[in-house]
């Protein structure tokens, strides 16, 4: 093991979930290899990344968007199509520029969640590269853009790019994938520290007053918070931008703790389907009210998984305002408790990364790649 090993981490800026879900892998890898140097390439804010990753070098641009979004839940298909058509008009040049960047940095390993350009560029630069995510832009691209003939070239390039990774680590739970180099691992998540007493004191909560968190994965979401009912005995933290001026609703930063520590410290989470938030709630056993995403292929398997590990209930903005919220909370808290999840995928994922860094054989579970992976089967589900 070299004392100057260098990991290059490329993170999609499509919400904060890609950064959040990768952080436990990197934290464990750095614990095992304390001299590992980390570079993070993404358009996400450096301050947010520091709360999850500690010290790192920062590259604040990346040729990846995932999808243009109309909201936290709705894909802007025409705008996304325009991006991919433009990016793939001369895809070789895009890959070449990134290959030059990586070649100059000379990292020992590239980890991508889940920018396909980075995967192709690392391969072009002769660098080992691992992809890791609960989704990929190839299968999602086929789903949203496959009916557009003008996107055919881009979709073919994206799929070919992902195959250049030594392995694509798919954590539990995840969307179905049709890539040939997928290897399944367990849940990858970090359980934050329960700091509810500290938060309650800072916010001045009274005895018996409950605390809820409204957060939608780093993409601002329009909820009619001005119509959010004032419920006796409840205080609300939120990451949304349009917060009405009222004493029972405050920005999450007022809690005075890292966002990762909020999840195990609240009594309920209001959110959308997403790997990072769902996995952390499943670890902590925090009840969840969520807006479902039936048109997002990753959504249904995540929602089924969550229903196996904590109380959860699909909802809509209309049900959360007016008189609907008390009924939703009442229904949620009457659901039976579920056994919390275990993050077994952290050790499995790090085993692969260490094998790559050491030039050692890949673990057996990551060698027998299987295509056409289905999402985790489950009879469970949210109420």
- One digit per residue, pLDDT tens: the chain, 383 residues? 456 899 999 999 998 889 999 999 999 999 999 999 999 999 999 999 998 999 999 999 999 999 999 877 789 999 999 999 999 999 999 999 999 999 999 999 999 999 999 999 999 999 999 999 999 999 999 999 999 999 999 999 999 999 999 999 999 999 999 999 999 999 999 999 999 999 999 999 999 999 999 987 655 556 778 888 899 999 999 988 778 889 999 999 999 998 889 999 999 999 988 898 999 999 999 999 998 888 888 999 999 999 999 999 999 888 887 678 999 999 999 999 999 999 999 999 999 999 999 999 999 888 755 544 444 444 456 76
For residue 308, give the nearest of 172, 133, 169 by alpha carbon. 172
Domains, the chain, ordered by start: 6-188+344-367 (3.40.50.2000), 196-334 (3.40.50.2000)
- Residue 3 to residue 377: CA distance in whole angstroms: 42
For 371, which DSSP code? S
Cβ within 8 Å of residue 108, ≥6 positions away: 2, 5, 6, 7, 128, 357
What is the C-alpha to C-alpha distance for residues 109 and 72, in angstroms, rounded to an integer?
32
Phi-psi domain of 279 (left: phi exceeds 0; alpha: psi -120 through 50; beta: other) = alpha
Phi, psi (deg, nearest 5) at residue 219 = -110, 120
* Rounded CA separation 212/295 (Å): 27
Structure tokens at 311: 């109380």
**What single string gives the DSSP state of each residue in 247-258?**
TTEEEGGGG-S-
- List the one residue out of 58, 70, 116 whose CA is nearest residue 219: 70
């Amino acid at each position: 093991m070299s004392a100057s090993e260098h990991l290059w981490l490329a993170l999609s800026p499509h919400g904060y979930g890609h950064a959040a879900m990768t952080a436990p892998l990197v934290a464990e890898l750095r614990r095992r290899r304390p001299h590992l140097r980390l570079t993070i390439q993404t358009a996400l804010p450096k301050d947010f990344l520091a709360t999850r990753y500690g010290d790192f070098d920062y590259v604040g641009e990346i040729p990846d968007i995932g999808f243009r979004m109309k909201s936290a839940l709705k894909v802007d298909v025409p705008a996304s199509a325009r991006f991919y058509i433009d990016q793939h008009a001369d895809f070789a040049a895009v890959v070449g520029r990134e290959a030059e960047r990586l070649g100059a940095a000379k990292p020992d390993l590239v980890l991508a969640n889940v920018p396909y350009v980075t995967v192709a560029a690392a391969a072009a630069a002769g660098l080992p590269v691992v992809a890791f995510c609960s989704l990929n832009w190839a299968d999602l691209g086929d789903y949203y853009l496959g009916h557009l003939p003008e996107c055919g070239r881009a979709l073919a390039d994206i799929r070919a790019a992902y195959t250049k990774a030594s392995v694509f680590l798919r954590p539990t739970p995840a969307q179905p994938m049709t890539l040939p180099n997928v290897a399944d691992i367990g849940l990858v998540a970090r359980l934050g520290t329960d700091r509810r007493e500290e938060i309650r004191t800072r916010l001045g909560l009274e005895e018996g007053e409950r605390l809820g968190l409204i957060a939608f994965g780093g993409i601002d979401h329009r909820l009619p918070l001005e119509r959010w009912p004032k419920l006796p005995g409840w205080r609300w933290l939120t990451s949304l931008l349009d917060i009405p001026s009222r004493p029972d609703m405050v920005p999450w930063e007022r809690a005075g703790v890292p966002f990762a520590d909020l999840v195990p410290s609240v009594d309920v989470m209001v959110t959308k389907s997403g790997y990072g938030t769902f996995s952390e709630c499943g670890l902590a056993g925090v009840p969840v009210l969520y807006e479902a995403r039936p048109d997002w292929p990753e959504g249904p398997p995540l929602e089924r998984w969550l229903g196996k590990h904590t109380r959860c209930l699909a909802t809509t903005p209309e049900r959360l305002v007016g008189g609907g919220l008390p009924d939703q909370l009442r229904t949620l808290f009457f659901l039976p408790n579920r056994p919390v999840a275990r993050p077994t995928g952290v050790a499995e994922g790090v085993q692969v990364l260490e094998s790559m860094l050491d030039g050692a054989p890949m673990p057996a579970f990551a060698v027998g790649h299987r295509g056409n992976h289905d999402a985790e089967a489950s009879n469970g589900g949210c109420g």
